[in-house]
A and B are shown apart, each in its own frame.
Chain A
Amino acid sequence: MLGFSQLVRRWGGQAAAILASLVTLTPIYVMAVNSLKSKAQASSMGIELPSELHPENFLTVIDKGKLIGSFFNSVLYAAGSTILGTLLAAMAAFVLSRHRSPINRFLYFFLIMGIALPINFFTLTTMMQVTHLINTRQGMVVLYSAMQIPFAVFLIYGFIEAIPRELDEAAIIDGCTPLQLFFRVIFPLLTPVLVTTGILSFLNTWNDFLFPLYYLDNSDNWPMTLAVYNFYGTFGQSGNLESGWNLVSADIVLTILPVIVIYLLGQRFILSGLTTGAIKG
């Protein structure tokens, strides 16, 4: 027969882990159920299931919250900057890792120093104006690419060390130019770390609203985060006649849905990337 303490040991851990998971999931659950409620029922933001389903909330939100446009803005910023930033970081990390001259050692530390540096938004405004990137979609892509370079270089640099140099030798003897060597031989071998870096930078950009807040004054260019915040400002306040937390919840659900899908599909790479970045690397 099992003693009490053994029972506690066997089931207590499981119970505590379930409790911890519930604490993280409840707020998301609250948003999900309230997004389907009527305005009146959602006003208390309770945890009970909707008494009647209102899926049309989502259509209202897509229409009033300008979600289609902001969705494509978010996709453009996140995908564009992930592709550009990760590619440039991989090229730089490759040469910095392979050819460790004193100047390259310095450049490596100089680049990864950016992981810790804060951004100066005032002088960056001037830079955005000088380069004519302020208030443009291209500007967002360039800015997000630049911001992810330090961490991407750091992650990819560590990974390149594990790729044997003999491959380079062989490719050069076969007559590859440096660009061919990188894109045909090295790049495919970097896939695991590129996926990790790519997912992390995609999610970071998707979730950010700081650059749009500072540098985009036209709401047509806003990403989903800023659109949902603006929507909340309009529909989440009790003073507004049209206010409704059911709509705000629906907007929030649509904003986090892509993030959750990417997370669940890529969680293996995300969690491994975190630990390589922090423990090993």
Chain B
Amino acid sequence: MGASVMKLSVGRYPLYFIVPALILYIAFFIIPSLSGIVYAFTDWSSYSDEVNFVGWRNFQKVFSPGENYLAYIGHTLVFTLLTIVFKTVFGLALALLLDRGVKRFINIYRVMIYLPAVLPTLVVALIFRSILNPATGALNTALRAVGLDALALRWLVDPHIALYSVIGVDTWKGVGYIMVILLAGLQTIPRDYYEAAEIDGAGAWSRLWYITLPLLMPAIVVVTVLNVLYGLRVFDIVYAMTNGGPGYATEVLSTGIFKAFSKGQYGLGTAISTVLFFLLAIAGYFVIRLLERGRVRD
């Protein structure tokens, strides 16, 4: 490209178009993120105007076996892993159902199954707090009515199953999103492949295993990455369903950050934020690579 063309291009597409977006982004995203890493090494709190450098003390606290924060990290990873598995498996099953199993009303089903994804998480959590109430909730009432009393658990009250109840509700809310993406991926697979395989005598399972899954892999990778980003950052559903309880049974990194904020432990909170930042930076690197790869192929 010659220098004059370059200059013309700059004149036509001036930098000041980018500046406002960039300023907002840097001011409210980048500066807080980067300065947060610095503050994670201080005793910054709401109780004192003084901020002192304390080295790795906050991180030692976060990673100390004597504190609960390692459990927060554990819950975050369990939440992320299980929501990935459930949303992908159910999302794929629903996508296959709409792609192959039904011939009519496909869009109506798609709209209805996606619906929970657009509802406010806070409201979904409140709805399910009522439905999962051990004594009066609709779920246990229904289970008892059909004689499944043994399955009528104390969903959000029992510390051993509360996290799984939250994961279940989150799957209910998020599965439609995953289904929509996987369905779009399925619709790009040419039908001839299946017809050819059928002629060769391939059964339903081997068609799924040897044709659908390999060709759907790009879409599966994308939904996995989206689920990783969502799962690591999860806050709303946990905060509104259990607020980390009972005890610390469902506490995740983001709710821990909010608790530190409420208690005025800013240094500690930024340290937890920084741990999350690095988890996400690693995940984010792969996201951008994948998104861009998809675009080039397109």
Residues of A whose CB lies within 8 Å of any CB of B are: 12-14, 16-18, 20-21, 23-25, 27-28, 30-31, 43-47, 88-89, 91-92, 94-96, 98-99, 101, 104, 107, 109, 111-124, 126-127, 131, 142-143, 145-147, 149-150, 153-154, 158, 168, 172, 178, 181-182, 203, 206-210, 213-214, 225-226, 228-229, 232, 236, 245, 248, 252, 255-256, 259-260, 263-264, 267, 270-271, 274-275, 278-281
B window 8-54: CB within 8 A of A: 9-15, 17-18, 20-22, 24-25, 27-29, 31-33, 35-36, 39, 44
Contact A274/B177 with A99-B10, A123-B270, A178-B14 known, Cβ cut-off 8 Å = yes
B73 at interface, CB cutoff 8 A: no
Q: Do A149 and B25 touch across chains, with their CB atoms under 8 A apart? A: yes
B298 at interface, CB cutoff 8 A: yes
Quick one: closest A residue to B96, CB to CB?
A13
* Distance, CA A147 to CA B270, complexed state (A): 19
Contact A120/B273 with A88-B24, A112-B288 known, Cβ cut-off 8 Å = yes
Quick one: closest B residue to A270, CB to CB?
B118
Quick one: closest A residue to B267, CB to CB?
A122
Contacts of A121 on B, CB cut-off 8 Å?
Answer: 257-258, 261, 269, 273
* Distance, CA A12 to CA B103, complexed state (A): 12
Quick one: closest B residue to A224, CB to CB?
B120
Question: What total of A-B pairs shows CB separation below 8 Å?
Answer: 283
Q: Do B32 and A150 touch across chains, with their CB atoms under 8 A apart? A: no
User: 1/0 per residue B71-102: CB within 8 Å of A?
Assistant: 00000000000000000000000100110111
B240 at interface, CB cutoff 8 A: yes
Q: Give the distance to chain A from B134, nearest Cβ to Cβ, in Å.
A: 13
Contact A146/B131 with A116-B281, A275-B181 known, Cβ cut-off 8 Å = no
Q: Do B27 and A127 touch across chains, with their CB atoms under 8 A apart? A: yes
22 residue pairs A–B, Cβ–Cβ below 8 Å: A46-B138, A95-B14, A107-B18, A113-B284, A121-B257, A121-B273, A122-B269, A123-B31, A131-B27, A147-B28, A149-B21, A149-B24, A207-B122, A208-B120, A210-B236, A225-B120, A228-B122, A232-B126, A255-B120, A278-B222, A279-B222, A281-B298
Quick one: closest A residue to B273, CB to CB?
A120
Q: Do B113 and A20 touch across chains, with their CB atoms under 8 A apart? A: yes
Interface residues in B, total, Cβ within 8 A: 100
* Distance, CA A248 to CA B130, complexed state (A): 10
Interface of B is mostly: helix
Contacts of A30 on B, CB cut-off 8 Å?
Answer: 127, 130-131, 138
* Distance, CA A172 to CA B283, complexed state (A): 42
Q: Do A116 and B288 touch across chains, with their CB atoms under 8 A apart? A: yes
Quick one: closest A residue to B173, CB to CB?
A24
Q: Do A264 and B111 touch across chains, with their CB atoms under 8 A apart? A: yes
B window 102-161: CB within 8 A of A: 102, 104-105, 108-116, 118-124, 126-131, 133, 136-138, 141
Contacts of B246 on A, CB cut-off 8 Å?
Answer: none
Quick one: closest A residue to B14, CB to CB?
A178
Quick one: closest B residue to A43, CB to CB?
B136
Q: Do A225 and B130 touch across chains, with their CB atoms under 8 A apart? A: no
Q: Do A107 and B123 touch across chains, with their CB atoms under 8 A apart? A: no
Q: Do A24 and B97 touch across chains, with their CB atoms under 8 A apart? A: no
Q: Do B240 and A229 touch across chains, with their CB atoms under 8 A apart? A: yes
Q: Do B280 and A89 touch across chains, with their CB atoms under 8 A apart? A: no
Nearest 10 interchain pairs by C-beta:
A116-B284, A13-B101, A120-B36, A207-B120, A99-B13, A275-B184, A92-B21, A123-B32, A146-B28, A146-B24
